[in-house]
Every structure is written in C-alpha cells, then in structure tokens.
C-alpha cells in the first residue's frame, strides 16, 4: 500500500524573525513536510508557496520592527507576495501568522481583504505600555469558522503556551465590532480571563478587547494569533511538567491545521 505524501508547509522567513525553527518543529511533529524560505528568495520564485498546503509566518522582530511591529514585513508581503497569498487563501488552503506574523498579516490587509474585518481593527501597544513575556491559557472558540479551531474546541479545549510581545493588544473601536466578529465566527482564540494555570500566569496579558487572542478571515482560511503554541509541543517545555503538558499541548492545534487542508 502506497502511503499518502505528507502535507507541505512553507515558512516565510523575514529579516529578524526568530521563531521559524520552532514553528517548523511543531508542524514536523505532527507529520508535515516543512521547508523554510527567505522572503527575498520568494519574491524571485514563489513556486514553493504555490505547492504548499499551509503557509506560515513566524514570530520575532521582522526588520527590527522599524516603524511598528510587523509594519515593514506587511508592506513587503503585500507588494511582493500579496497575489500569491491571496490566491492560496482563495483556494481554501491555510495561511497562519503567529505573533509578529499575525501583526504583518493584519497590517498588510491579507487577513482582512474584501471587508473580512470591520474598519479600525488593529493590534496596538500593550495596555501596560511594556513588553509582556510569560505563560497564558488559550481558549479556542467552538463557533469559529476555521475547522482547525472548532475541532480543537471540541477536543482538547485549551492550550497553555507562552506570550512574548510589545504590540499585541487587539483593538476594536466599539462593542458592536466585537459582536460582529463573534457573529461571523471570526474570533478564533481568547485568553482565559482567569488563568487556568498557576496564579503567576497571565490572563489577558495585553488588555485586548474581549480577551481576543486570535482571529480569522470570514472563510477561516487565514488565521492570526499572538501567543506561541509552537513553544509548547514537548512535556519538558511546560512549567507544570509532563502531566500538565499532556492536557494542554499545542500539538493538537497543529494536527488540526493539517486536517483542515488534507
């Protein structure tokens, strides 16, 4: 019996991103075939993106976060790879951005094309005015239009993982905007308002509106989130040890992403 080929995941590396290996390790751990590609190389030959089932943008400090977190990366994405990424999304495949990758996707408009999000939704500096770094608990939305998120909500239910950012506060201009996102199934993840882990863990670490930690486009084919589930794929990474890790690992989320694009 001939086995099926593993799904291809392409990771886009920009100058200053530093979580690409972590992200690749998470996808490889659930059976994906992962390749990493420099942004400049893809601008010349984007064929690796066209062959991929998932395109992933990792965290870090792209271009030194000059002019704002993810801003220069977002311009480069839109002007050099925007058509390729939009075609990928339109084909029902998946684009995911984590932390700096989320900032770049949102700023570029790739996540918000065709009125997918209300105006003035943004990621802005943390409410405390400082960089936050620690562990938090993510709660996936059972009503998410992204099958990978809905499956996680019906299965494991939560993910414990680190956060590390200075501009990760999800801003919405008014409660109606949040209600519209909720009604459309575009809220993917929320921070646990009361952390489920140790008391030192962060609840809503940045003051995000309605505890929002991640959102999708209306089709559930473009996804962005601030925390780092790729940094909790092994038991030794969890502060609570192996037992806590088995109940809250990020691996089911990565497995669900591959199932979504199978």
Which position among 99, 148, 167, 238 bears the catalytic label? 99
Q: Are strands 33-38 and 54-57 parallel, antiparallel or unpaired?
A: unpaired
Task: Return all residues near 169 (Cβ < 8 A) that are at least 6 apart.
Answer: 123, 124, 125, 126, 127, 206, 207, 208
Tell me if 14 sits within 8 A of 39, measured CB to CB.
Answer: yes
Q: Which of 88, 228, 232, 238 is catalytic?
A: 228
| Catalytic, out of 88, 161, 165, 230 | 230
Residue 183 CB neighbours (<10 A): 10
Residue 65's Cα: distance from chain center in Å?
A: 18
Q: Is 230 a catalytic residue?
A: yes
161 is catalytic: no
Establish whether 182 is a catalytic residue.
no
Q: Which residues are catalytic?
A: 99, 228, 230
């Amino acid at each position: 019996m001939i086995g099926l080929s593993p799904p291809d995941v392409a990771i886009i590396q920009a100058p200053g991103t530093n979580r690409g290996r972590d992200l690749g390790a998470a996808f490889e751990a659930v059976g994906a075939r992962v390749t990493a590609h420099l942004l400049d190389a893809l601008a010349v030959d984007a064929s690796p993106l066209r062959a991929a089932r998932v395109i992933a943008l990792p965290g870090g400090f792209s271009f030194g976060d000059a002019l704002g977190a993810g801003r220069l990366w977002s311009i480069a994405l839109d002007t050099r790879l925007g058509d390729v990424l939009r075609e990928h999304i339109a084909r029902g495949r998946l684009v995911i951005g984590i932390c700096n990758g989320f900032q770049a996707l949102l700023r570029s408009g790739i996540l918000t094309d065709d009125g997918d999000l209300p105006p003035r939704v943004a990621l802005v500096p943390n409410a405390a005015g400082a960089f936050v770094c620690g562990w938090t608990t993510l709660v996936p939305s059972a009503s998410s239009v992204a099958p990978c998120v809905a499956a996680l909500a019906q299965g494991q239910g939560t993910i414990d993982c680190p956060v590390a950012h200075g501009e990760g506060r999800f801003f919405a201009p008014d409660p109606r905007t949040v209600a519209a996102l909720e009604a459309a199934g575009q809220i993917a993840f929320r921070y646990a308002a009361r952390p489920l882990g140790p008391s030192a863990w962060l609840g809503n670490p940045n003051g995000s509106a309605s505890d929002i930690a991640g959102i999708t486009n209306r089709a559930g084919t473009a996804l962005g989130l601030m925390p780092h589930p790729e940094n909790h794929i092994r038991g030794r990474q969890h502060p609570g040890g192996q037992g806590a890790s088995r109940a809250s690992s990020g691996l089911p989320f990565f497995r669900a992403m591959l199932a979504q694009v199978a």
